[in-house]
Structure 1
C-alpha cells in the first residue's frame, strides 16, 4: 500500500484515504516524497492526461519534459502509475480515488506548512492567508472527506444529549458534512461560514437534496437572526487563541435557543498523540492549536456558559464539549 515499505516492483491494492493523511501516528505517515510528487502531478494535470507519453504531456501542457518524467517515474515506485515503454505511462493499481486525491493534496500542503515551523520557533508569527487562498478548495475537499467519516459519531453524541432538538446551526461549517448528517436525522440545518467559503461550497454537489441552508457571514460580525436548539462548532476552536475563542462564544450566545446547547467538536491537547502532532500543523498557521480541557472549560465560563459534558468520540482524536448559556 502507499505509505508502507515494500520492495520496488511489488504490487499493492488501492489504499484507503485514511492511511494517506498527515494526521496519522508517527510510524504510519505516508512517505513525504510520494505525497509531494503526487501533488505536483495533480497540480500540473499529469495524471488526468494518462495514458500518454511524458513528451506528449509536456508538449500539450507547456511543461518541462524531463521534469514530467522524473515525477511520473517517482510515482511509479508507489504504483500510482505504471511505465509503458521508454516514455509512456498509464494509471497504476494504486492510483488514488477522488477522496484520496483530496487528502493527499491537503497532506502536501501540511508538509509545506511544517517547513515554516523553524521560523515560529524564532518568534516569527504566521502570515494570515489571503482569502480566498489558492489552497482553500483543496482543504475544503479534504475536510469534507474527514467530515463524512466524523459526522455520524458527532451527531449521535449531540442527539443523545438533545433528543428533541429540531434545528442546528453548523458554525464555521465549511464543507457542510456535519449539517448534512443532522439533516438526515430530521433537523433543520443551517451552515454558516465566510462568504468565500460558502461560494466554494456551492461549487460542490455535497449538499444537493439535503435541505441544508447556507448563511454567508463572518461569525464575529453577523449570525442568523434566530435561535437554534444546537449550535454546533467543528474544526474552529483549535484554530483560535483563548481570547479569540471567548469572543466567538460570546458572539454566538444569542443564537442558542432557551434550553439549547453549544456543541464544540475539537481535539484536546494531552489526550492523544495525534492531537500532539496536530499542534505542529496549527503552529505553522495560527496562534491556536488543540487546547486542554480545563482551558476550554474556563473560556466557556468566561463567555457565559456552563459546561454540561465532555465526551471522547470513537474516532481519534475527536472530542465533544457541550455547554449551555448560563441561565439557559
Structure 2
C-alpha cells in the first residue's frame, strides 16, 4: 500500500512560490499587452494590413489565455493553502488528543475516570460515565429497552461541568436520575422519562429525579412520568346467560288465582312470570275468573317477572256473564 506524506509547512511554501510565479507572469503580460495586441501595419498596402491584423489577433488570444491561466493559478494557490490548513488542524487535534490521553492515563487507572474530558454514554439501562475530575460533563444514562427495567442514571461531573441526563425507563419502569453538576460550577442533569404502563390498568413509571447542582449552577429538572394504562370497562349485567329466568307461577284451575312467579336468586336472573288465573265453567251462576299471579322479584341487576293474566269469566247457567279476573302484579326489579 502506497503512503502519502503531507507536510503543511512544505505546502504553504509551495503555495507562496506559485503565487510569486503568477505575479511575475502577470507583470510580464501587462508589459507586452500594448505592443502585442495592437500591431501597426508596415505599409498601407493590403498585405501589410493583413499581416499586422494576424499578429494582433494572436496577441489578443494570448492575453485571453493568460488571463484564464492566472485565474486557475489563483484557485490552485487557494486550494493548496486550504489543504495545508486542514492538515495542520488535523495534526493539532491529534497532538491534543495524545496529550489528553497522557494526562488522563493515571486518573483512569486509579479512579476509573479522566482528569479532563466528558464521560462516556451508558449502554441501554446502564449509567453514564463520570466526567473529568477537573473539567468535563457526565455521560448520559442509557435508555432501557426492557419492560420493568429502569433507565440508567446520568454520570456526575467533576470540579466543573454539567451532569449527564438520565435514561428513559422501560415499560412500567422509572427513568434514570440525572447526574450531579460540578462541585464548583455546573448544572445537574435532567431526569429520564418514566416508561408507559405495560398492562391495561397498570401504573406508568415515575420520572427520574433531577441531578443536584454544585456551588454555582442549577439543579436538573425531574423527568416526566410515564402514562398509565387504560382502565378495564365495567360490566353491564343482563340476563346471565345461560341462566334462565326464575320459575313461572302455576296456571290456576277453575275459579282459582294464578300462582306467583319465583324470585331471581342470582345476579342477572329475571323473576318468573305470574301464573294465569283460572276460569269458572262449573258454577251455576255467572262467576268471575281467577286473578293472575304476581311476578317474581328479579335477581341483582335483573328485571322482575311479569304479572300473570287474569282468568276469563263464564256465564255458566245463570243469567249474566261473570267478570274476568284481575291481572297479577309485576315483580320488583333486582337492585
TM-score bracket, normalised by the shorter chain, equals under 0.3
- TM-score (norm. length: structure 2): 0.20
- TM-score (norm. length: structure 1): 0.21
Task: Compare the two structures and name the one with the higher strand fraction.
Answer: 1
Larger Rg: 2
Task: Compare the two structures and name the one with the higher helix fraction.
Answer: 1
Whose RCO is larger (CA < 8 A, sep 6+)?
1
